Amino acid sequence: MGAAPRPRPGRRAAPRRAPRRTPGRAGGRAPPAPAGASRRRAPRADRRAPALRRDPRQHDRCRPDADRHAAREALLLRGGLLRSALGSLGAHRNVPRRALPARAARPARGRLGLAGGGGVTPLSLGEAEALARKAARGAGLDWGTAEEAGRAVRWLCAHQFPGGEALAGLLIASDRVPPARRAPVCGMVWRARAGCLCPVTAGAALADRAGAGPHAVTLADLAWPLLLLPFAQAAAARHGATLRVAWPGFRADVAAGALALGPAEAGEAARAAEVTCRPVPVPQGEGRPRGYRAALRPAARAALERFAARTYAPATQAGRLAGAGAGLTDND
């Protein structure tokens, strides 16, 4: 039996490591793994958390769970844009258990005095215009005036005014009133034949008379004067001038592609005793940021949809026999 090899000169011998001991185990060492056992690590505790969205690349989170919270099953909640950009990473994002803030559950009163919930319904500008057009037609306006009402609502929503709520309030207040009684009688002061003056018909008349040049106009007892702004802007753009629309508590200067606001406390007034529209040399006031979505409160949207439903033909047996819908073949 030979002698142990000596270390080379200039190098120190490495100390022998002691065997690893685990407290609480017999003999101080961990028992060897049985033959054929998998070397895969045990699943972590967070692997069993309820998934927010199923992803085929995440097999550990694709199992159905009967105890999953309803808020986690909502359609991406309010993080849809963020989650679509993150892809699979968004599925592991922590989401609070409450899907909506607590203030949204409290009963609230909508703008312009319309009762409704605290939330709003986002629509595109085209959807808001189409809904307003059909609602105005269902309220009794002719198709040409209804199209003007739809464009006015779109313009107001694009400038972050409550155009849909203003039109809903106008249609509710003037329901079943013949449009001819709300049309303006043009003179020194524009008035309606009976009741309040309709801002849509008055605005259309204002835009038509713009061909004679910009001049001052006074409108008496105008309902929902906010709806007059789009027509004043169209009349101002036709002549390259600036028109000032004002009533007590509100002032706005409109021109081609421009809007400047002064005092706007009474911008959502349901009625104005006197509204003036006159040319001014220079617009004065603060600008208004442009938006690309329309926000309607549930009460305003429900009112517009009720008026729009009047334009639909009722489903009858005679209509089905005449070819409406699927006829007699739809027996589901």
pLDDT on residue 89: 45
Asked whether 169 and 114 are in contact (CB, 8 A), the reply is yes
For residue 176, give both structure tokens: 């079943």
If we measure between CA atoms, which residue out of 271, 216, 230 comes closest to residue 247? 271
Structural domain contains residue 185: yes
Confidence of residue 42 (pLDDT cuts 50, 70, 90): low
Measured between alpha carbons, how far is 256 from 95 in angstroms, rounded to an integer? 46
Number of domains in the chain: 1
pLDDT on residue 109: 45
Structural domain contains residue 20: no
| DSSP result, 141-187 | --HHHHHHHHHHHHHHHHTT--HHHHHHHHHHHTTT--HHHHSEE-S
Structural domain contains residue 23: no
Residue range of the domain that includes 247:
111-310
Confidence of residue 317 (pLDDT cuts 50, 70, 90): confident
Q: Nearest 5°: phi and psi at 245?
A: -105, 125
Evaluate if residue 128 carries a pLDDT over 70: yes
Structural domain contains residue 64: no
Measured between alpha carbons, how far is 300 from 110 in angstroms, rounded to an integer? 8
Structural domain contains residue 6: no
Structural domain contains residue 183: yes
If we measure between CA atoms, which residue out of 169, 172, 223 comes closest to residue 194? 223
Bridge-partner residues for 255, per DSSP? 258
pLDDT tens, residue by residue, 226-284: 999 999 999 888 888 889 999 998 999 998 888 888 877 777 888 888 999 998 888 88
Structural domain contains residue 149: yes
Helix residue spans in 219-313 (DSSP H): 229-239, 298-308
What 3-state class would DSSP assign to 189?
A: strand
pLDDT > 90 in the chain, percent: 29
Structural domain contains residue 276: yes
Q: What predicted TM-score, i.e. pTM, was given to this entire model? A: 0.61
For residue 120, give both structure tokens: 């709003």
If we measure between CA atoms, which residue out of 279, 283, 280, 277 comes closest to residue 257? 283
